[in-house]
């Protein structure tokens, strides 16, 4: 076995331009001797962007994992939704994953109501 060492760095930026909010994120992480296995390195890269306008939102994210001697995995996701003035929001999303050469897709819907007390 070996000691696992790693580091990660990220950046997030948020701006508003002509009533449209924009948030972008990016992150990179590296692990040497992952899970205590000597010579097993892993790299993770992820990024995303979210747009908002008058209650509407749209988000795109992507991530990848690169492993030495193993499989490379990817995830891509897109979601959109609307937040009503009366504390109800509805969002729908689609995600596709390629993990270990197995492809899968997911579709989901979220309805949320906020209670203030």
Chain-centroid distance, C-alpha 117: 31
Tens of pLDDT along 54-84? 999 999 999 998 887 666 899 999 999 999 9
pLDDT on residue 35 = 72
Q: Grade residue 1 by pLDDT with cuts at 50, 70 and 90.
A: low
Of residues 33 and 97, the one with the higher pLDDT is: 97
Under 8 Å between Cβ of 64 and 40: no
Residue 47: which of 23, 21, 81, 17 has the closest Cα? 23
Mean pLDDT of the chain: 91
pLDDT on residue 69 = 63
């Amino acid at each position: 076995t070996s000691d696992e060492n790693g580091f990660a760095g990220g950046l997030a930026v948020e701006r508003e331009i002509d009533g449209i909010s924009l948030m972008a994120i990016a992150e990179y992480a590296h692990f040497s001797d992952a899970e205590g296995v000597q010579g097993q390195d892993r790299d993770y890269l992820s990024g995303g962007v979210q747009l908002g306008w008058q209650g509407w939102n749209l988000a795109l994210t992507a991530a990848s994992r690169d492993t030495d001697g193993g499989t490379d995995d990817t995830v891509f996701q897109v979601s959109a939704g609307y937040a009503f003035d009366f504390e109800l929001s509805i969002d729908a999303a689609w995600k596709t994953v390629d993990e270990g050469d197995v492809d899968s897709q997911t579709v989901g819907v979220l309805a949320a109501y906020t209670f203030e007390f």
